[in-house]
A = this chain, B = another copy of it.
Amino acid sequence: MPETRPQAVGFLGGTGPLGRGLALRLAVSGVDVLLGSRDQSRGREIAADLSGQLPPGSGEATGASNREVLERCALVLITIPYQAMGATLEELRPLAPGRILVSTAVPMEFLGGVPHPVTTGFGSATEQVAQLCPDSLVVGAFHTVAAGQLLKLDHTLDEDVLLTAHDSAAKERVSDLVERIPGLRPVDAGSLDSARFCEQLTPLLLRLNRLHRAHTGIRITGL
């Protein structure tokens, strides 16, 4: 059966570690990726660097401005740290209607090296994206997947990705993307009001990493 090549997946803040890591894994799986940055030339630089790591048969990695990413891609991962996410979306949201926006940010801060939750005022960062971009289809995903492990292609992933969304077709699209990455399993975690639980797994896993000097992930058993 011939492999179909899905449309390019875009990244807002694609030059940060999570954006690069997810873009790398998706490109390896054959998906074209468009890495956005505030600074277009920075996007191109990171995309060129990523391209150098891709084996034959991979998708193409291209750089762009964040603005171009929203203009060109139907599915966009927001891989901007939480503290900068709101301001970026405030600026770019006129371009977001009709897009599937994947919220990956975790509202947390580090106090003495220890991660603590940050109150969003929206229940979760994912619900904040939905509030800011009411005409987009918002999906929460990838909160618990560590950028560092995605970036090491020789690291075998072994974890679940919890997905929340109101729109089930949009959730299905993101679920298909997760399934393209070996070692990741998508798990439907319901509607957006469960996103807070998915996001708050991350400070727990980071605390476990620190305590056990490990790289932890999560699996839901019994499914």
Given known contacts A198-B204, A203-B197, A204-B197, A221 and B190 CB-to-CB distance under 8 angstroms: no
Can you give 16 A-B contacts (C-beta < 8 A)? A159-B221, A159-B222, A187-B208, A190-B207, A190-B208, A194-B204, A197-B203, A197-B204, A208-B220, A208-B223, A216-B221, A216-B222, A216-B223, A217-B221, A217-B222, A219-B221
In order of increasing CB-CB distance, the 10 nearest A-B pairs are A197-B204, A219-B219, A216-B222, A217-B221, A158-B221, A215-B222, A214-B222, A216-B220, A190-B211, A159-B221
A188 interface residue (CB < 8 Å to B): yes
Chain B residue numbers with a CB within 8 Å of A48 are none
Chain B residue numbers with a CB within 8 Å of A205 are 220
Q: How far is the CB of A75 from chain B (nearest CB, A)?
A: 23
Chain B residue numbers with a CB within 8 Å of A197 are 200-201, 203-204, 207
Q: How far is the CB of A189 from chain B (nearest CB, A)?
A: 6
Chain B residue numbers with a CB within 8 Å of A158 are 221-222
Other A-B contacts than A217-B220, A218-B221, 4 sampled, CB-CB below 8 A, are A158-B221, A159-B222, A189-B207, A219-B221
In the complex, how many residues of chain A place their beta carbon closer than 8 angstroms to a beta carbon of chain B? 28
Chain B residue numbers with a CB within 8 Å of A203 are 197
A5 interface residue (CB < 8 Å to B): no
- Interface bits A58-82 vs B (CB < 8 Å: 1, else 0): 0000000000000000000000000
- Interface bits A173-213 vs B (CB < 8 Å: 1, else 0): 00000000000000111100010011011011101100110
